Amino acid sequence: MTTTAIQTECAESQETRILPLLNPRTRARRDVSKRIDNIPLLYAEMEGEELDRRITAARETLGDRVIVLGHHYQRDEIIRYADYRGDSYKLAQIAAARKEAEYILFCGVHFMAESADILSGAHQKVILPNPAAGCSMADMANIAEVEECWEILTGMLGDDAGIIPVTYINSAANLKAFCGEHGGVVCTSSNAPKIVDWAFKQGKRVLFFPDEHLGRNTALHYGVPSEQMVVYDPKNPLDFDDAEEQIEHSRIILWKGYCSTHMRFSVEQIAKARVDYPGINVIVHPECRHEVVEAADYYGSTEYIIQQIEQAPAGSQWAVGTEINLVHRIAQAHPDKFIFCLDPIVCPCSTMYRIHPAYLAWVLEAMVDGEVLNQVSVDDETAYWARVALERMLTLSA
Ligand code: SF4
């Protein structure tokens, strides 16, 4: 049985050109503008073969001056050009190690390109092909909100608060800098258990942002009971006043943020998979709700999911709770195993999906002409403290 036989893809994931994805108002502008959605019309209207020809030619001309990094959640039409593919942790390591490339073309989302800029050399330029490729979870925490939360906590707990801030890598550079400056650290879904373990040993409690679910799953794994967890809602910070006693007894304060892609997975989907395919293995990402993680057989980062399925025997069956482009790619790589996405109506991560081959062709041809487009650059002071938090993470997880 193939994956398409049991799943329906949302309309967006079947679009192959940029223009059909534009909203009607933007489309109406196309007749009076030479640019659409940050990109010149010339590229937005180009067909796949022409884009492929141009991307390939530009890459040949640029040679080793450019490396292309592709996150696992990118569509196949992008991943085929990637020199390296990985999750955010692996790509951050590569960005830190490949100092010889003049350009790092980052096919991922904005926070990843920021991390690459912070970890790469001053002589390197990091380019995000489409500057609109953000992450909805990363946008759920901003520096003003985190500083407000910090003030409330330290005001409530006093000098003896012992709070270690830990930010998921899916966050803006200034939140990473906040952690660096306040004795904290960055984590990824690959290294979260190790990092949170370290953080608990440094202080009395952890402030974990912006993903409530990764924070909860990791803390439960560490042995922190639910009663010692508090959820902080940045939209209703005053609710906190009523929770003073709970906060005093807390080991972890979880930011109320989530990944819309991983929130689609449910316990009901897992139950159905088990009925439909007795003996199936269920594996999910730790950005899923705790009850989903609990109902699964395995959970872990995208790299962990790939490895588990790779090492499984031929003929094994897998229901996977993570982003669909990755699930499809794993299924294609293992035709001897039965692999499908837990969600019957599967959509790609809509922000990752904003990287389209047209953007690659556009920025690469500009590079050939000596022009740098869509560079992501973090200011020096933010970069300094963010680097402290990122390098602490890389050292701790080495
Ligand atoms: S899958 Fe979720 S966390 Fe990852 S980039 Fe997309 S929205 Fe952000």
Q: pLDDT digit string (tens) for 28-72?
A: 555 445 455 578 888 988 888 999 999 999 999 999 999 999 999
Which has more confidence, 366 or 93?
Answer: 366
9 strand-pairing partners: 346
Q: Is 109 in the pocket of ligand 1 (CB under 6 A)?
A: yes
Q: What is the mean pLDDT of residues 190-212?
A: 96
pLDDT per residue over 231-283, tens digit each?
A: 999 998 766 667 788 888 999 999 999 999 999 999 999 999 999 999 999 99
Task: DSSP for 243-279, please give it.
Answer: GHHHHHT-SEEEES---TTGGG--HHHHHHHHHHSTT
Q: Tell me whether residue 94 is exposed, middle or buried, using C-beta atoms within 10 angstroms of its C-beta: 0 to 12, 13 to 18, 19 or more.
A: buried
Q: What is the pTM of this model?
A: 0.88
Q: 287 C-alpha vs ligand 1 centroid, how far in Å? A: 9
The CATH number of whichever domain residue 316 belongs to comes to 3.40.50.10800
Instruction: Indicate if ligand 1 lies below 6 Å from the C-beta of 352.
Output: yes
Q: Is the CB of 351 under 6 A from ligand 1?
A: yes
Q: What pLDDT was estimated at residue 7? A: 57
Res. 2 pLDDT band, cuts 50 70 90: very low
Q: Are residues 70 and 172 in the same domain?
A: no
Q: Are 250 and 268 part of one and the same domain?
A: no
Question: Cα of 95 to ligand 1 centre, how many Å?
Answer: 20
Residue 2 lies in a domain: no
* Pocket perturbation via mutation, ligand 1, pick of 261, 263, 285 by most ligand atoms within 8 A of CB: 261
First-residue to last-residue Cα distance in the chain: 40
Q: Do 179 and 128 have their domain in common? A: no
C-beta of 365 in contact with ligand 1 (< 6 A): no
Q: Where are the beta strands (DSSP E) in 72-162?
A: 84-86, 103-107, 125-127
Across the range 378-393, mean pLDDT stands at 95
**Residue-by-residue DSSP string for 286-302:** TTS-HHHHHHSSEE--H
Per residue in 75-102, pLDDT (tens digit) is 999 999 999 999 888 898 898 898 889 9
Cα 352 to averaged position of ligand 1 atoms, centre (Å): 7
In this structure, the answer to whether residues 142 and 243 fall within a common structural domain is yes
387 domain-assigned: no
pLDDT tens digits along 161-170: 899 999 999 9
Number of domains in the chain: 3
